[in-house]
Each structure stands twice: as C-alpha cells, then as structure tokens.
C-alpha cells in the first residue's frame, strides 16, 4: 500500500465505488484463453486459420469501436465476431456469431478468478457499514453474470453499467448515476478503486473521489495514473490499511 496524497485519504468515506474488470479479477489471462478457444472453434467450423482470424478480428474490433464510440455495445463480443465473420468473406451467420460469443464468455468465466483478498475486502467494508457500488463498462448482462459467477453480487448496494447510462465511464454519466443511487454529492468523501486512468479522471471530476489504483505488479512504478491518491498491489494490504480509516468490521 502506497499513499501518494495522504490528506485525501484520512477521512472515513460515505461510500466506496469499485471498477470490476482488471480491478477485482485479472482479465488478461482469461481473455487470452477465451480467444484461444474461439480460434479452435473457428478453425474447425469455418476452416479459417488462426492468423487469418486474428487479422480479421482486429479489423472488426476497430471498426465496431469506431462506429459506436464510448458505449457499452462498442465492447460487444457478439458484434466483434459477427463483423469478423463478414470480413472473412462469409455471410453474417448469426448462429455462428452467437456460438463464438458464448464460447468466449464461457471460457473466460470458467478460467477467471478474483484477486486474492478481493472478496474478503468487500466483506469487511460491508461489515463496517459502508455502502459499496460497482461502476463498470460493458453491457449489463455479462457484467451481472460475472458478479454472480464470482459470488460477489450480494456485496454491492448499487451496480451501474455503461449500458444503463448510454456511455462508458469516461463520459461521466455512470459515476453520476452511481452518485444519484447512493444519494451522495461532491461534498461527500467517496473512494474509488480501479485500474484505468480514464476511471480515475472521471471519478474525480464527478465525485471529487479519493482514488486508489490497483496495480498489477508489486513495484507499481511506470504505470501510475495522474491524480491517483494511493496504490496497492494486494487487496490484503489495502484492507489492512483501510481498517485504520473505516474502523474494524
């Protein structure tokens, strides 16, 4: 645990907001395994090589994001796979696009794990009487599935997805929606825990939040986002430090 702005973190918060992907669980390795499973299915079903698929998928992802901007649907694996199939010169094939999407998410969920100490931290913060909110990009269905799969849905008083608000967190509205649901304002002390720079900027702009970055290596150097008030690698370290501010469970 490393405090960069101690003055911003001394006061007990009225609420704590969390990001989900790459904050409460590691995304990259499960994503890579999910894509490997998709490649196998594409090779068997469409007779398309992995390099061909990867090139088409990259083009498809870029095209979808360019068309849809900073919205939940811009993250849709279903749209990525539909466009990939079309770029490969095949018909849209809705059944195959759905099959690839289900293969992707099924593999990701079965291989993803919460970071050690993440659930214990949520439990302890809840027991200390703090309202918890999850503010996350992507569509509601898959984010809800993740919460239920990990067994952490019951810890959050409020969940806001970018599908609900029509724009990703960088567009501010998800944080505005979370604040409205929690009944908090910029005058209230709020903590936000995430891994992405855009989330830090948005949470500070909307809520004047004290921001904590979950870093993915122990040094944390060379990847700290501007405006971060504290960093941690292990949730156990954050939990132990937070006890001194929020009080024991």
Average pLDDT, rounded, for the chain = 94
Q: What does the pLDDT read at residue 53? A: 98
55-100 confidence digits (pLDDT tens):
999 999 999 999 999 999 999 999 999 999 999 999 889 999 999 9
Q: What does the pLDDT read at residue 160? A: 98
Q: What does the pLDDT read at residue 105? A: 98
Nearest-angstrom CA–CA distance, 163 and 161: 5
Is the pLDDT at 217 greater than 80? The verdict is no
Is the pLDDT at 240 greater than 80? The verdict is yes
Nearest-angstrom CA–CA distance, 146 and 156: 13
Is the pLDDT at 218 greater than 70? The verdict is no
Q: Strand ranges (DSSP E) for the chain?
A: 2-3, 15-18, 132-136, 158-161, 190-194, 210-214, 230-232
Q: What does the pLDDT read at residue 10? A: 93
- Given pLDDT bands bounded at 50, 70 and 90, which one contains residue 235? very high
3-state class (DSSP) for residue 70? coil
Q: Which two tokens stand for residue 191?
A: 């903590």
Angle at 104 between CA 60 and CA 218, to 5 degrees: 95
Nearest-angstrom CA–CA distance, 82 and 93: 7
* Residues recognised as catalytic: 19, 21
Neighbours of 124 (CB within 10 A): 18
Nearest-angstrom CA–CA distance, 62 and 56: 10
168-204 confidence digits (pLDDT tens):
999 999 999 999 999 999 999 999 999 988 888 899 9
Is the pLDDT at 222 greater than 60? The verdict is no
100-122 confidence digits (pLDDT tens):
999 999 999 999 999 999 999 99
220 close to 237: Cβ distance less than 8 angstroms: no
Residues 6+ apart with CB under 8 A from 213: 194, 195, 200, 220, 224, 225, 228, 230, 231, 232
Q: What does the pLDDT read at residue 84? A: 98
Is the pLDDT at 216 greater than 90? The verdict is no
Give the distance from CA 56 to its chain's centroid.
Answer: 25
Q: Average pLDDT in the 136-145 region?
A: 97
Q: Average pLDDT in the 216-245 region?
A: 84
Q: What does the pLDDT read at residue 200? A: 85
Long-range contacts from 140-144, C-beta under 8 angstroms, 24+ separation: 140/72, 140/164, 142/105, 143/20
């Amino acid at each position: 645990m490393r405090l960069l702005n101690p003055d911003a973190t001394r006061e007990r918060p009225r609420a704590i907001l969390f990001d989900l992907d790459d904050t409460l669980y590691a995304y990259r390795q499960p994503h890579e395994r999910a894509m490997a499973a998709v490649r196998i299915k594409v090779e068997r079903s469409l007779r398309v090589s992995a390099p061909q698929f990867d090139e088409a998928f990259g083009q498809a992802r870029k095209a979808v994001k360019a068309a849809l901007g900073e919205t939940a649907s811009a993250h849709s694996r279903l749209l990525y796979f539909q466009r990939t199939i079309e770029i490969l010169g095949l018909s849209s094939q809705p059944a195959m696009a759905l099959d690839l999407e289900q293969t992707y998410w099924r593999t990701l969920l079965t291989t993803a794990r919460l970071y050690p100490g993440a659930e214990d931290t949520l439990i302890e913060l809840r027991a200390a009487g703090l309202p918890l909110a999850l503010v996350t990009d992507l569509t509601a269905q898959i984010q809800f599935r993740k919460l239920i799969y990990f067994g952490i849905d019951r810890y959050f008083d409020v969940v806001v997805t970018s599908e609900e608000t029509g724009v990703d967190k960088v567009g501010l509205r998800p944080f505005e929606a979370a604040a409205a649901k929690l009944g908090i304002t910029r005058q209230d002390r709020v903590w936000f825990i995430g891994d992405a720079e855009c989330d830090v900027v948005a949470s500070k702009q909307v809520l004047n939040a004290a921001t904590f970055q979950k870093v993915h290596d122990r040094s944390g150097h060379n990847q700290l986002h501007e405006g971060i008030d504290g960093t941690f690698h292990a949730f156990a370290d954050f939990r132990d430090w937070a006890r001194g501010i929020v009080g024991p469970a």
